Amino acid sequence: MEVNKASAFLTVAEELHFGRAAKRLHMAQPPLSRLIRQLEAELGATLFERNTRHVALTPSGEALLEPARELVMLSRRMKDVVRGAQEGEVGRVRLGFAGASVNQAVGELARQIRQQRPGISLELYSSQFSHVGLERILDGSLDLVIGRWDFLPAEIDSHLVAHEELLIALPENHRLADREAVSAEDLAGEAWIVLPGGASATLPNRLNMLAMWAGFVPRIVQVAPDSWTLVVLVGAGMGVSLILSSVRDNIPSRGVVYKPLAQEQKPVEVRLIWRRGNLSPTLRAVIEISETVFTARAGTTAPSGCPPLPDAAGR
C-alpha cells in the first residue's frame, strides 16, 4: 500500500464523509473516491460501506486502520531521519583511539556529542595505534582517529587535541632512578621496550632521533602490545622505555619511575585526524564539537579545519 493511499484511507476513516475528507486533503472528491477504489482493488476487499446517506468502515477497513497508521508514521519518521542526516543531527561516526592514554579526551568528546547531538551514534574502537589508525582513515574503515604523528599525508586534515611531554620510564631500582633528569647518552646501553609503530608513528621516530643524537642504536628487546603491558614490563625490570606523560597520568605504574630527558624535547602533539574532503554533515558536526572540546585541552587556539602537519620535507 502506498503512503498517499494510506493517508487518504485514514482521513476518510476519521471523517466518514468523502467531501470533508477531500477538503482536508486539499483535493476534489472524485479523485479521492477513485483513490479509495484503487486501494480496495489492490487489497481485494471493500473498506467502506457507502451510500448517499452515510459512510462506514467494513470489518476489513477496521482491520486496516492500525497498519495504515504505522505506514504513515514510518514515512514521516523516514523523512525526519533523512532531514536529520542532512543537518548533521543523526548518523554514525566511527572513532579510533589507542587506549588509556587518551581515554579522558575520548570520554569528554563522547559526553559533548551526547549533550549537543544526541541523535549521533559515536562508535568507539580502541587499540588503534597511530600507524594503524592512519591506515584505517585512509581506507575509510574509520571516520576519526585520535593519535600522535610527526608526519601526516596530504589527504589528511587534523585538529590539535593536546600537547604531551616525552619521558623515560625506568624500573624503580634502576641506576638512573634517582636522577632529576636523564641524559640521552646515559641510555646508550639500555634494553628498550617499545610499542608497535609504523613509519609515521611519533614514539619510534622520537626514539630513533634521540638515539641518533646521542650516537647509539636502540637495543629493542620487546615490542609490547599496549601501554599497560609496557608499563608492567618496565616495572618488572625488563628494560626502559620512551613514553608519554599521558601514560604516566592514566596507567597504574607500580615499580616504575618517570624521568624527563635532560635535553629539551619538542612536545608531542595529540591530534584528531580525518580524511580530507567530502565530509558528511554528521562528521562535520562531530569535528566542530571536537574543536571546541579540544582547543581548551590543548591550551592553544587552533583554527577550525586545522591543516595537516608538514611532511618529511617540511612542506
Q: Are residues 156 and 182 located together in one domain of the fold?
A: no
Q: Please indicate, yes or no, if residue 53 is contained in any of the structural domains.
A: yes
What pLDDT was estimated at residue 76?
79
Beta bridge partners of 146: 97, 272
pLDDT tens digit string along 263-290?
888 889 899 999 998 688 889 889 999 9
Q: Nearest-CA neighbor of 240 among 254, 259, 226?
A: 259
What pLDDT was estimated at residue 57?
92
Q: Specify the DSSP class assigned to residue 154.
A: T
Does residue 123 surpass a pLDDT of 90? yes
Does residue 315 surpass a pLDDT of 70? no
Tell me the C-alpha to C-alpha distance, in Å, between residue 167 and each of 5, 204, 216, 248, 249: 70, 13, 18, 9, 12
Q: Are residues 284 and 150 located together in one domain of the fold?
A: yes
Contact between 100 and 228 under an 8 Å Cβ cutoff? The reply is yes
What pLDDT was estimated at residue 165?
93
Our separate counts of H helices and E strands in the chain read 10, 12
Question: Average pLDDT, stretch 3-12?
Answer: 90
Lowest mean pLDDT among 45-49, 50-54, 166-170, 180-184: 50-54
With cut-offs at 50, 70 and 90, classify the pLDDT of residue 78. confident
Q: Please indicate, yes or no, if residue 306 is contained in any of the structural domains.
A: no
Strand, coil or helix: what is 51? coil
Query: Can you give the CATH number for the domain in which 41 is found?
Result: 1.10.10.10
Written as nine digits, the cell of 228 is 599497560
Domain count, the chain: 3
The residue out of 86, 113, 128 marking a domain boundary is 86
Cut 0.95: pTM above it = no
What pLDDT was estimated at residue 85?
64
Query: Can you give the CATH number for the domain in which 158 is found?
Result: 3.40.190.10
How far, in Å, CA of 250 to CA of 167, rounded?
14
With cut-offs at 50, 70 and 90, classify the pLDDT of residue 129. confident
Burial category of 23 from C-beta neighbours within 10 Å (exposed 0-12, middle 13-18, buried 19 and up): middle
Cβ neighbour number for residue 58 with a 10 Å cutoff: 15
Q: Are residues 243 and 186 located together in one domain of the fold?
A: yes
Tell me the C-alpha to C-alpha distance, in Å, between residue 153 and each of 41, 59, 135, 219: 62, 67, 11, 29
How far, in Å, CA of 26 to CA of 259, rounded?
78
Q: Is the model more confident about 84 or about 140?
A: 140
Q: Are residues 82 and 127 located together in one domain of the fold?
A: no
Q: Please indicate, yes or no, if residue 232 is contained in any of the structural domains.
A: yes
What pLDDT was estimated at residue 186?
94
pLDDT tens digit string along 22-47?
999 999 999 999 999 999 999 999 99
The residue out of 56, 86, 116 marking a domain boundary is 86
Q: Are residues 69 and 18 located together in one domain of the fold?
A: yes
What pLDDT was estimated at residue 250?
85
Domain of residue 18, residue span: 3-86
Q: Are residues 81 and 97 located together in one domain of the fold?
A: no
Q: Are residues 7 and 77 located together in one domain of the fold?
A: yes
Q: Are residues 183 and 253 located together in one domain of the fold?
A: yes
The residue out of 212, 233, 260 marking a domain boundary is 260
Residue 117 CB partners (closer than 8 Å, separation 6+): 88, 89, 285, 286, 289
What pLDDT was estimated at residue 138?
92
Q: Are residues 145 and 273 located together in one domain of the fold?
A: yes
Written as nine digits, the cell of 55 is 459512510
Q: Are residues 183 and 250 located together in one domain of the fold?
A: yes
